[in-house]
Amino acid sequence: MNEEITPVIVKDTTPPKRRSSWKWNLPLNKLNKGEMLRLEMTEEKARDSARTIRTIVYRLQKKTPAKRFTVRLVVGQLASELKWTGIGVWRVR
């Protein structure tokens, strides 16, 4: 009823490395208090990328608690006031 399965042992040097390809290489460590990082893009692209950028900023804040950032989606009325559309990252502390 149950067939016997014979395992095959293959010698391999190392497992393949996981690729960590960050689409966003943000220079957050270089920002001083009061400075901002402006990522200009279309509104649709900004809405798609906002969560990823917020996650990157959140992870950096957990590693370096002395630094605080705010991430804002710049669309609509705010975009017309600032005269650009996209995502803004401000260093608050």
Distance between CA atoms of residues 69 and 60, nearest Å: 9
Identify the pLDDT of residue 21. 54
43-61 confidence digits (pLDDT tens): 999 999 999 999 999 999 9
Domain that holds residue 55: 40-91
Residue at 61 is within a domain:
yes
Residue at 1 is within a domain:
no
9-35 confidence digits (pLDDT tens): 777 666 666 655 567 788 888 889 999
How many domains is the chain partitioned into structurally? 1
Q: C-alpha 59: how far from its chain's center?
A: 9
DSSP 8-state symbol, 76:
T
Residue at 19 is within a domain:
no
Identify the pLDDT of residue 7. 72
Identify the pLDDT of residue 91. 92
Residue at 87 is within a domain:
yes
Residue at 58 is within a domain:
yes
Identify the pLDDT of residue 77. 93
Task: Kindly state the percentage of the chain with pLDDT values over 70.
Answer: 86
Identify the pLDDT of residue 9. 72
Is the pLDDT at 6 greater than 70, yes or no? yes
Residue at 51 is within a domain:
yes
Residue at 76 is within a domain:
yes
